[in-house]
Chain A
Amino acid sequence: MNRYERAAVGAVALMLIAGAAIFFYAPTDYLQGPVQRIFYLHVSSAIAAFGCFAVVLVGGVIYLRNESPAADRFARAGALVGVLFTTVTLVMGMLWAKTVWGAFWVWDARLTSTLVLWIIYAGYLLVRRLADPGRQAARLAAVVGIFGFIDVPVVHFSVTWWRTQHPGPVIINDALPPQMLATFLFTMACTVALAAVMIASRYRIETLVDEREQVFEPAKVLVAREPGGVAGPVQ
């Protein structure tokens, strides 16, 4: 096993332990019943998604500053993993909402801004797919990623800025009993670790793709014939 496979096995093991904690350690909610257990993974994947989009933002800013291909690869990896975790957040939230609110979807500020977040970064991935790979695509995508990040604080503060149907913050308001809080913090750590491992492996894949396509290679220049040698391209 190489180190990516080892890290992946570790991350999956952590998520299984988190799953066990969610179902066997955390107490059942008095009002909502077992459906409240969705909360742990729902909030954790939202936080992991925010982290991924922060990677896209920082990668984009660094890329615009010094055209570092590594920063761009991190941004690409972050966007893909972030869209994945946003999808998980939305789907789990809808399952919870169907039971508790009676509808999969309501047009509330938190839900709407999260959906917009998903659309923005799905658009980012489409730009990457449709633009010819290379420096120009990287630069354009960096701009999209930086603009898209505006929505992250909007999603985060939507529950305090507007009166929403979505529950307000429970962690920072100290509204959770200790066992629930411990389960949540553990699940969050595991989810963030999983996201980090996914970004790292995706980064590796993007590096291999870039090397095969040679998208960031400078144009090869022919040099004068060396004495006794043959003319050839230099890197």
Chain B
Amino acid sequence: MSPLRVALAVARKDLRSEWRTREVVPALAQFIILALLIGNFGFQIDSRNATSIAPGILWLALVFAGLVAFGRTFAAEREQASLEAMLMTPASPVAIFAGKAAAASLLLIVCEAVMLPALSLFFGTPFSAQVVAAVLIATVGMAALGCLFAAIVARVRARELLLPLLTLPLWIPFIVAGGQAVQSAMGLPGSYSESISLLIDFDILFLVLTSLAARFVLDE
């Protein structure tokens, strides 16, 4: 089987199991709504300062939802010990990793489809294609990194502790550039196109690095 077909098959399997159990997406969607609620009560939000606070709430909610989503990708495999079985097949570990990463990022994108309208509903911020594009472009690289570290910690004790510690520092470039992009898309000063091209640079950098590293993480 070609690596692409392996990746698609793994992604389809993960999505199907999510469709049948409906575990991750409803939990994450609820988590995101709760995060917006906390943002509302943590800040004094009114129509004047909403655009300067909403991007921060968006990224906080997205980052922590992402940690949960990527942490779950390998949790189910571990509980069933099915990752070892998949790795025993002749399929390449990189293709399996790519499939799992694609499925996890699709789940996160579904959550973003809840978060972005809810954000503009609750805070009255503009809901534009620019905001959506910035969040989606950042999701690509964040998903690659998040899945890599989720695979790393899957075999470690205290993985719930370690995943945020390892992933968040490397997500900072995406939060810096993505935060800037969303801020300028919501009308605050800053160059939108510059931050988007920076996001794409980070995407390429981390996609290349994670695909090189995936072999060492999943091998065994």
Interface on A for B, CB 8 Å cutoff?
64, 112, 116, 119-120, 122-123, 126-127, 130-132, 136-137, 139-140, 142-144, 146-148, 150-151
**Structural contact, A120 and B169, CB atoms closer than 8 A:** yes
Binds A, one of B9-17, B31-39, B158-166: B158-166
Point out the residues of chain B lying under 8 angstroms from A151, CB to CB. 169
CA distance A150 to B210 in the complex (A): 13
Residue of B nearest to A146 (CB): B213
**Structural contact, A123 and B216, CB atoms closer than 8 A:** no
**Structural contact, B152 and A144, CB atoms closer than 8 A:** yes
Point out the residues of chain A lying under 8 angstroms from B172, CB to CB. 112, 116
Classify the interface of chain B: helix, strand, loop or mixed: helix
CA distance A136 to B153 in the complex (A): 11
CA distance A143 to B211 in the complex (A): 12
Interface on B for A, CB 8 Å cutoff?
145, 148, 152-153, 155-158, 161-162, 165-166, 168-170, 172, 205, 209, 213, 216-217, 220
User: Which residue in B148, B162, B209, B216 is a CB contact (below 8 Å) of A130?
Assistant: B162
Residue of A nearest to B176 (CB): A112
CA distance A143 to B168 in the complex (A): 16
Q: A127-B166, A131-B155 are in contact. List 20 more A-B contacts (CB 8 A).
A: A116-B169, A116-B172, A120-B166, A123-B165, A127-B162, A130-B158, A130-B161, A130-B162, A132-B156, A132-B157, A136-B155, A136-B220, A140-B156, A143-B148, A146-B213, A147-B170, A148-B169, A148-B170, A150-B170, A150-B205
A114 to chain B, nearest CB (A): 12
Point out the residues of chain B lying under 8 angstroms from A116, CB to CB. 169, 172
**Structural contact, B156 and A64, CB atoms closer than 8 A:** no
**Structural contact, A147 and B217, CB atoms closer than 8 A:** no
CA distance A126 to B163 in the complex (A): 11
Point out the residues of chain B lying under 8 angstroms from A130, CB to CB. 156-158, 161-162
User: Which residue in A127, A142, A143 is a CB contact (below 8 Å) of B156?
Assistant: A127
CA distance A167 to B170 in the complex (A): 25
A-B CB contact pairs (8 Å), 26 listed: A116-B169, A116-B172, A119-B168, A120-B169, A120-B170, A123-B162, A123-B165, A123-B166, A123-B169, A126-B165, A127-B152, A127-B156, A127-B162, A130-B156, A131-B155, A131-B156, A137-B156, A139-B217, A140-B217, A143-B213, A143-B217, A146-B213, A147-B170, A148-B169, A150-B205, A150-B209
Point out the residues of chain B lying under 8 angstroms from A131, CB to CB. 155-157
Point out the residues of chain A lying under 8 angstroms from B166, CB to CB. 120, 123, 127, 144
A206 to chain B, nearest CB (A): 19
CA distance A147 to B220 in the complex (A): 21
**Structural contact, B169 and A139, CB atoms closer than 8 A:** no
Classify the interface of chain A: helix, strand, loop or mixed: helix
CA distance A122 to B205 in the complex (A): 23
A82 to chain B, nearest CB (A): 15
Query: In the complex where A64-B216, A143-B213, A144-B152 touch, is A126 in contact with B169 (Cβ < 8 A)?
Result: no
Point out the residues of chain B lying under 8 angstroms from A139, CB to CB. 216-217
**Structural contact, B152 and A119, CB atoms closer than 8 A:** no
Point out the residues of chain A lying under 8 angstroms from B213, CB to CB. 143, 146-147
Point out the residues of chain B lying under 8 angstroms from A150, CB to CB. 170, 205, 209
CA distance A147 to B148 in the complex (A): 11
Residue of B nearest to A63 (CB): B216
A121 to chain B, nearest CB (A): 9
Point out the residues of chain A lying under 8 angstroms from B205, CB to CB. 150
Residue of A nearest to B145 (CB): A147
Interface centre among A64, A120, A140 (most CB of B within 10 A): A140
Point out the residues of chain B lying under 8 angstroms from A144, CB to CB. 152, 166
CA distance A81 to B155 in the complex (A): 26
B93 to chain A, nearest CB (A): 13
B49 to chain A, nearest CB (A): 19
A78 to chain B, nearest CB (A): 18
The 3 A-B residue pairs whose C-beta atoms are closest, nearest first, are: A123-B165, A131-B156, A119-B169
